[in-house]
Amino acid sequence: MVIVSLYKAVMTDTPHVRTIGELWREGVARKRPWPAYLVEQDGDWQAVSWAQAGRRVDELANGLLELGLRKGETFAILGSTRIEWALLDFALACVGAVTVGVYANSSARETRHIVEHSEAVGAVVEGEQQRAKLGGTALRHLLAFDELDELAARGRRYAAQHPGALDAAVAAVGEDDLFTLIYTSGTTGPPKGCMITHRNFHAMVTVVDRLPEFTQARDSVLLFLPLAHNFARLMHLGGPHIGYTIAFLDDPLRVFDALPQVRPQVFPSAPRFYEKIHAGVLQSLEQSQGAKRRVGEWALRTGYDVSRLRQAGKPIRPALALRHRAADRLLHAKVRARLGGRLRLGFSGGAPLSKDVCEFFHAIGVLVIEGYGLTECTAAVTVNRPDAFRFGTVGQALPGIELTLADDGELLVGGETVFAGYLKDPAATRDALDDDGRLRT
């Protein structure tokens, strides 16, 4: 059974102008002494400071202005989860262009449909494989990730000649202007372009101001999920607002190698990752023999005993606490070490995660929580919380989200994160939104 708490909260204390460009600039202006990003180079993780990232975004944004990119024009990004994707996204937001992300594994047909349907004037691609997908499309600008240095150089020259142009471009962007187009999966037809405004995503990012127990400043986040998806996009946009460090991993198959290197405190993932860890530990216990197996099973049972008490909000008896410390040394800490040793919070999204898996991770000292959301609501609608969770549910409504039930039982979602509609599809938009602007889920 899925249990959802229905309530309405009003978001407060937000900046006067809620755009992603302003959100980025406010984050950089805080001059945090820890890294903004970690980037893998030759097997090592290199730190990128907030100042370095800020300069790069300014250079790219000025380069886009030099190209003649105008407010409201659409620009596509085709590539894996890399820092180039993220910084270009912020640069496009600063000049008022509309980013449309395309999954790196999209077919050529899907890619051309999205680029043509969105009327993109340009695209940045990760490499020749992505460039080939755009064959036959009419674009004014087509760049590769490894050509962004030249775009930045053009931006520096443009800024020297037009010192106030970027500030004026940022100021010209309004809260209700489009920030991005996120295309649905298209399981029942061609993908539809969800129109997400600056206000939508700003409200989604800043909801964490009301949820301080989630991501925190100085946290490290390992991000491998595709940035074309709104969950990964939310994590990427939350970096400058909250102040956590993002380590970008462009190859999902290397997650198990990256975790002990990055040692994240927060890890957003799909259920499959958690399921593999769970299955691997249980298989290892089943294959072990004698005392080793008995000790492992005892340690896991002890973890479950503590987990059940903590879920119920009950105290841990001294004798159990003593056993739990021993169990942690013998088993739990070893499993956590495979995850980097510092993991505090795991997010699972995209599909349901078994309650058994959630309880397993809680038993070894890692909280994995689930939520519920839709692209049309700019990512999340409900979520479990570190101080209020129930495994097997999608948690409570987020602050600023209004959930109501229609007469036929359909869940309706209201609030500032509800999208502006489907691009070039007024009929589908009318079907999705009721007369009060609430989303029919």
3-class secondary structure per residue, the chain? CCCCECCCCCCCCCCCCCCHHHHHHHHHHCCCCCCCEEEEECCEEEEECHHHHHHHHHHHHHHHHHHCCCCCCEEEEECCCCHHHHHHHHHHHHHCCEEEEECCCCCHHHHHHHHHHCCEEEEEECCHHHHHCCCCCCCCEEEEHHHHHHHHHHHHHHHHHCCCHHHHHHHCCCCCCEEEEEECCCCCCCCCEEEEEHHHHHHHHHHHHHCCCCCCCCCEEEECCCCCCHHHHHHHHHHHHHHCEEEECCCHHHHHHHHHHHCCCEEEECHHHHHHHHHHHHHHHHHCCHHHHHHHHHHHHHHHHHHHHHHCCCCCCHHHHHHHHHHHHHHHHHHHHHCCCCCCEEEECCCCCCHHHHHHHHHCCCEEEEEEEEHHHCEEEEECECCECCCCCCCEECCCCEEEECCCCCEEEECCCCCCCECCCHHHHHHHECCCCCEEC
Q: How far apart are the first and last CA of the chain?
A: 18
Q: Is the pTM of this model over 0.85?
A: yes
**Distance separating alpha carbons of residues 58 and 426, to the nearest angstrom:** 36
What pLDDT, on the 0 to 100 scale, is given for residue 187?
Answer: 62
- What's the pLDDT score for residue 186? 59
CA quadruple 67, 72, 75, 80: dihedral sign: positive
Q: CA separation (Å) from 136 to 112, 113, 145?
A: 8, 11, 20
Q: Is residue 34 within 8 Å of residue 426, measured between CB atoms? A: no
For residue 350, what pLDDT is reported?
83
Q: Which residue has the higher pLDDT, 16 or 294?
A: 294
Rounded Cα distance between 175 and 326, Å, is 54
Q: Is the pLDDT of residue 10 over 60?
A: no
Average pLDDT (405-433) is 96
Averaged pLDDT for residues 252-280: 95
CB 249 within 8 A of CB 64: no
For residue 63, which phi and psi values (nearest 5 degrees)? Answer: -65, -40
Give the tokens for residue 257: 């190698």
Query: What pLDDT does 190 receive?
Result: 82
The Cβ of residue 405 has, within 10 Å, a number of other Cβ atoms equal to: 11
Give the tens place of pLDDT for each residue, 367-391. 999 999 999 999 999 999 998 999 9
- How many Cβ atoms are within 10 Å of 1's Cβ, its own excluded? 4
Burial of 14 (0-12, 13-18, 19+ CB in 10 A): middle
Judging by DSSP bridges, how do beta strands 74-78 and 44-48 pair with one another? unpaired
pLDDT, tens digit (0-9, with 9 covering 90-100), for 164-191: 999 999 999 999 999 999 998 756 678 8
Residues 218, 343: Cα–Cα separation, whole Å: 13
What percent of the chain has pLDDT above 70? 96
Mean pLDDT check: name the lowest of 2-6, 15-19, 64-68, 119-123: 2-6
Q: Which two tokens stand for residue 318?
A: 């001294």
Residue 3 has pLDDT above 50, yes or no: no
> 202: how many CB neighbours lie within 10 A of its CB?
25
